[in-house]
Structure 1
């Protein structure tokens, strides 16, 4: 797996690659013949999302390549050795595009026959930038909605091979453009050939509340989809990021319910998905927390197989939770949720507030979000029973998180004040979260200690860890009144 950072250029057939000497040492050009088959659903669901799945022969990287979009000019590439069959996509790769195919079959939709001339800029043994000059013959395979056709063109790609040399990539691009190249609008050769229709998005009045909210919902749907392959590969932080996308979507639907209406069922399904992801995420966080905690304890104070109970055993449970995640992400309920999210972005049910100017309507919604935090706080403080008050403070944390997400969604449109509000809400969320996490950690340690006791193991170290966690929670609890007072004062100046 790797990350591709590249610039693509359209060039005329008579284009000449300019002299690149002086930028770095130059090697080449060397020529290759590349033949690639591209796979997609009959209605091009992968291409529509900027996803490329191909089987390529020729060159130094023959094999299967799956390219997933990350940002403009940046794509994640996952490779698989070349297989004999041209009809069957390796199951490992087919699994990674399920969020896009949603059960539809993959088939060959196009073939690209490319005569490639490669020039490499390098510094000694270190390859820095590769410039590929491609003369392409593209064939669209017949399917229900398309007839066979052939297209020829020429293009140049400059790919960064050393992440530390992005300035060099920019200089190469400048020379290519000066020689007559123009930046390509196509995200890939396949997109140039097939010209897929991008996912539909509702038309809303420019500058309206509806435009801002729908754009934000679309960005979070894309964020959720982009994490799906990473979750299936159990990549670092992927479950967390996918869960955050679920939370941001739910929060936006609640906060902007007068702008985009009738989303209650979608909110429930997003909560279901968040819960599915939550089990593995919570175990992941807990295991990392205890690993860090044990590292602070002197070795002579670690007694018994506590590393196994708080490390290996939790990891086993986490891996079992990942199995359940993958089952959920390959089921009809998940596909139905993704379809519903696509429909939400394409044809949302808009309320009367959607037509109002964004500045007017959305500022009021942000203020209402913060007012919800203060009401939750006042309600909690009015409870005399300390245990019940602590439970109610969890509602303050949730309200702060929602206010933060709302302000973050509006910051690009409404400016710095929303960014400041988001940060202030996050401060409340974090200090309450530190306290809550410490309390939950104590409960987890107590359960693990009881299991150890029943197994005849020494539980001294568990007691030591409980003491550390109690100290963390108590410090956060003691610090909260100061943070709350400072935050309320700062928010008062903003709103």
Structure 2
């Protein structure tokens, strides 16, 4: 019943105003709520709290994506999806999501990713360049073409979120979650692990993620885009784990750690945006001869400034201090 009512609201059906959420004219993108875990929680209880937190963030941004094609709502839905996939990966050794649901999550990623990439190009990367230059006609044409592409992909993303396929995905995820479907697929040893307290499990996850990041980070000097991308992914996973388990550690210890990870991830993200932008600009030029001059200039500009960012990235890496987890 809950899913049927919700689907009708999302698809424009009549909702009981006593129970339906009233959305403002301008949508408000929903970030993840602060997550509070207790050291006395079992691994299973902590997993439930984390997944519920991620699902809430995803579902809370549906209306902004469907009805308003809102840039920030789509971004926050995508963040919630990335957090969910990261959480599922963290707990994969003791419980597993059915393969069919994993494949549907991959489909959802493919529906949101392109719109976000073009949003960043049209709304962030290009304005950052043109604000420092004279916006001549070739660059303006590229900006307009990128904005048109972003708008079209937002419409496609909204249609995907309003679709029956998405509704089935969320409904099946909620059912698997509510019925604790992972228990049916577990070995006896896994069931024992789920009853353990979360502290030891969290420490092992943080140490493993941090070691992966440190290993990849040693290759940052003079790194190519693919190597930087691997470091960015490792930093993102480590940051998500640190945020999930932050309430288990002293605030004065974990906050600077998460802040340092965020700064590192942001800088790596900017460099990755430039790499992604190069591919998107190439797509634009292939589809329209009038855009070749503008896209060619912008690709050269991005390549030049990308190399200049290496120094700042190395400084951020040197400032990164690994978290010491009590053993």
Compute the TM-score of the two structures, normalised by the length of structure 2.
0.77
Report the CA distance between 1:338 and its aligned residue.
0.6
Q: RCO higher in 1 or 2 (8 Å CA, sep ≥ 6)?
A: 2
- Coordinate RMSD, CA, aligned: 3.5
CA distance change for structure 1 residues 293 and 249 in 2, over 3 Å: closer, same or farther?
A: same
Which runs of 4 or more aligned residues in structure 1 lie more than 4 Å from their structure 2 counterparts after TM superposition? 41-46, 446-452, 461-464, 492-495
Match of 1:333 in 2: 165
Match of 1:88 in 2: none
Gaps in structure 2 of 5+ consecutive residues: 28-38, 184-189
Gaps in structure 1 of 5+ consecutive residues: 1-40, 56-64, 69-74, 80-95, 97-204
The separation in 2 between residues aligned to 1:468 and 1:340, in whole angstroms, is: 46
CA distance change for structure 1 residues 280 and 305 in 2, over 3 Å: closer, same or farther?
A: same
Q: Where does 1:306-455 land on structure 2 (aligned, <5 Å)?
A: 306-311=139-144, 313-348=145-180, 349=182, 351=190, 352-378=192-218, 380=219, 389-416=224-251, 417-445=253-281, 448=284, 454-455=289-290
**SS of the residue aligned with 2:95?**
coil
Report the CA distance between 1:252 and its aligned residue.
0.3
Give the structure with the higher percent helix: 2
Give the structure with the higher percent strand: 1
Q: Deviations for 1:274-309, whole angstroms, at most 9, x for unmatched residues?
A: 22011111111110121342232125xx1x343133
Report the CA distance between 1:422 and its aligned residue.
2.8
CA distance change for structure 1 residues 66 and 78 in 2, over 3 Å: closer, same or farther?
A: farther
Report the CA distance between 1:206 and its aligned residue.
5.7
Q: Deviations for 1:330-380, whole angstroms, at most 9, x for unmatched residues?
A: 3333222112221232133253332111222212212211112223345x5
The separation in 2 between residues aligned to 1:42 and 1:373, in whole angstroms, is: 41
The separation in 2 between residues aligned to 1:381 and 1:236, in whole angstroms, is: 31
Q: Is the 8 A contact 2:65 2:161 kept in 1?
A: no
The separation in 2 between residues aligned to 1:342 and 1:485, in whole angstroms, is: 42
1:294 to 127, 130, 145: 130
Report the CA distance between 1:462 and its aligned residue.
4.7
Q: Where does 1:33-432 land on structure 2 (aligned, <5 Å)?
A: 45-46=5-6, 53-54=15-16, 67-68=20-21, 76-77=23-24, 207-233=41-67, 234-288=69-123, 289-299=125-135, 302=136, 304-311=137-144, 313-348=145-180, 349=182, 351=190, 352-378=192-218, 380=219, 389-416=224-251, 417-432=253-268
CA distance change for structure 1 residues 400 and 232 in 2, over 3 Å: closer, same or farther?
A: same
Q: Deviations for 1:117-138, whole angstroms, at most 9, x for unmatched residues?
A: xxxxxxxxxxxxxxxxxxxxxx
Compute the TM-score of the two structures, normalised by the length of structure 1.
0.53
The separation in 2 between residues aligned to 1:426 and 1:275, in whole angstroms, is: 25
The separation in 2 between residues aligned to 1:224 and 1:43, in whole angstroms, is: 15
Q: Is the 8 A contact 2:66 2:159 kept in 1?
A: no
Query: Size of the alignment, in residue pairs?
Result: 299
Q: Deviations for 1:399-452, whole angstroms, at most 9, x for unmatched residues?
A: 111111111111134342444433333233222222222233344445545666
CA distance change for structure 1 residues 362 and 439 in 2, over 3 Å: closer, same or farther?
A: same
**SS of the residue aligned with 1:76?**
coil
The separation in 2 between residues aligned to 1:355 and 1:283, in whole angstroms, is: 44
1:491 aligned to 2:327?
A: no
